Homo-oligomer: A and B are copies of this chain.
Amino acid sequence: MTAQEKLTLKTDNHKHICVGLDTDINKIPEFLLKEENPVLAFNKIIIESTKEHCGAYKINFAFYEKDGIDGLKTLIETKKLIPEDILVIADAKRGDIGNTSKMYAQAVFDKFEMDSITLHPYMGGDSVQPFLDYEDRISFILALTSNKSAEDFEKCELLNGQPLYQKVIEKIHDWNKYQNCGLVFGATNPQELISSVSLMDDLPVLLPGVGAQGGSLEEVVKIFDATGKTNYLVNVSRGLLYLDSTPAFGRAAEESIVKMNKTVNSMLLI
């Protein structure tokens, strides 16, 4: 299955929650620490508890790279636990000159076998192209991020009055020859989302920032539903992973994502 097929399979059925596997050993239930690989044991239960309900998984590379070789082994093992028909996004935020981006693409798509990646747009078209050469993967390119400092550059107005992040969205359309580009848009910016949703057209959208960062799932669903757009994923990490510190943490995650799906469905116009 291509990344595009995996995405549509879920989002067409209104499974829009992307489970962010930002697994932090300092936050997982203490009883897991006796396991040989506590992070992997935790991820296994989270995946089993959410796989029927989620739209995708997002693996935050930093949380694994911080443990060096061992962390990357856990990342590889985690990927294997995810069912084949669910999109796995490498949240790696890469981007470099052409010959270097080609190596990063090989790392993430060939070596780690991810379906999808997040990319920095700053260096422009030729820096993302080697990722786009993988036609059956999806590259989610940062437009407007969920953090406060998005205002430093992303929201800067250009000569024509357009904010930089909207110019990025325009460029993403130019780069989308293989229908394998998406964009990242922080759910903490509902006003900007309203004013940009028509620019997004048919590009898949990944929205971080719901939960710990203050974004609202309801608001996002309302905005997209009003335009009939369905190919979007709302990432939830901290708001799903660490709800319970007992052996029932998997059930807590499942109940939470089921509740989010109900919220999504209750908001749909039809």
| Residues of A near any B CB (own CB < 8 A) | 22, 60, 62-63, 65-69, 71-73, 76, 91, 93-101, 103-104, 106-107, 110-112, 120-127, 142, 145-154, 156-159, 161, 164, 167-168, 171, 208, 213
Complex CA gap A112/B62 in Å reads: 13
The 6 closest A-B pairs by CB, nearest first: A124-B149, A124-B152, A62-B103, A65-B107, A126-B149, A66-B103
Copies of this chain held together in the complex: 2
Contact partners of A66 in chain B: CB under 8 A: 103-104, 106-107, 110-111
Cβ-defined contact, B154 with A157, below 8 A: no
Instruction: Look across to chain B and name the residue whose beta carbon is closest to the beta carbon of A145.
Output: B123
Contact partners of A106 in chain B: CB under 8 A: 66
Complex CA gap A112/B65 in Å reads: 10
Instruction: Look across to chain B and name the residue whose beta carbon is closest to the beta carbon of A93.
Output: B96
A214 → chain B, closest Cβ, in Å? 12
- Known interface pairs A22-B100, A63-B103, A103-B62; A123-B154 also in contact (CB < 8 Å): yes
21 pairs, CB–CB < 8 Å, chain A vs chain B: A60-B100, A62-B96, A62-B103, A63-B100, A65-B107, A66-B103, A66-B107, A68-B76, A97-B213, A98-B147, A120-B120, A122-B122, A122-B145, A122-B154, A123-B147, A124-B149, A124-B154, A125-B149, A126-B148, A127-B147, A158-B158
Partner pick for A68 among B111, B127, B157, CB 8 A cutoff: B111
- Known interface pairs A142-B122, A147-B124, A154-B122; A62-B164 also in contact (CB < 8 Å): no
